[in-house]
Amino acid sequence: MSKVCVTGAAGYIASWLVKKLLERGCTVHGTLRNLGDEKKAGLLRGLPGAAERLVLFEADIYDAASFEPAIQGCEFVFLVATPLQHNSGSSKDYLSSKCIAEKELVKYNERPSESRAFDVVVLLLGLVGGDTLLPYINESQHFMLSPFTGIEPYHNALRYTQALLGAVPVVHVDDVCEAHVFCMERQGDVAAGRYLCATAHPNMQDLVEHYASKHPELKLARKEVVGEGVRVQANTNKLVELGFKFKYRAEEVLDGSVDCGKKLGVLPVADQGS
């Protein structure tokens, strides 16, 4: 089986991806900023197959050379970690940093094929939700759950997403990782470049209405929306036409995130008499 590298291996998407790759029999090189962080390292070492096929490396996203030992001998590299030289609570800064990093990566594909050592495939994700391996809610789940939690920075990020895109594209973390593996296993069919990866494009109003009808046991802290009636449907056919199939609908992404929020104690339960 393949030997692969996953950067930022203890993150939300990356940890699920490591789990999925180990299940497929891959040998996985995972990078962490600090191997001494036992909470993160222990999470990964506890995955099925990790004892036999997971090797952890310490690497700093701001020091490219530090990734060389982890990448050495690997057929595929999943660059899941992203530079975070910005206010981590600012969705605008985060989106900007992601876009800049992706554009710089894709530029590599402009080189003549004979001078390229590899091809770069970028998956442009919607808000990622559903289940989690982590003991906390991740940023995109916080965005989706902000109508319940009322946390202003996250709710503002949800409003910003709706205003910027005309929708709130969502995708399940399992589908995200399946799409990564699909691109790896179908490398001859998946051309270098960028692919949209979102199962659906509901708008902010759709999210609030779904929550109100499906989860009456929870209290909505914020019911106001932007872009009411606006529904922009981006074209995700490029990935689907290659044969990829999304398993989870938008409702399952949202409800899975709600379940995580309940499990991890971040959602306020409404009074029984309200």
Edge-to-edge strand ranges of the sheet holding 27-32? 54-58, 27-32, 3-6, 76-78
Active site residues: 98
Q: How many CA atoms lie within 13 A of 208 on its CB side?
A: 22
Question: How far is residue 20 from each of residues 47, 173, 230, 271, measured CA to CA in Å?
Answer: 10, 11, 36, 40
Q: Closest by alpha carbon to 164, among 80, 226, 88?
A: 226
Distances (CA, A) of 180 to 41, 72, 99, 227: 22, 20, 18, 31
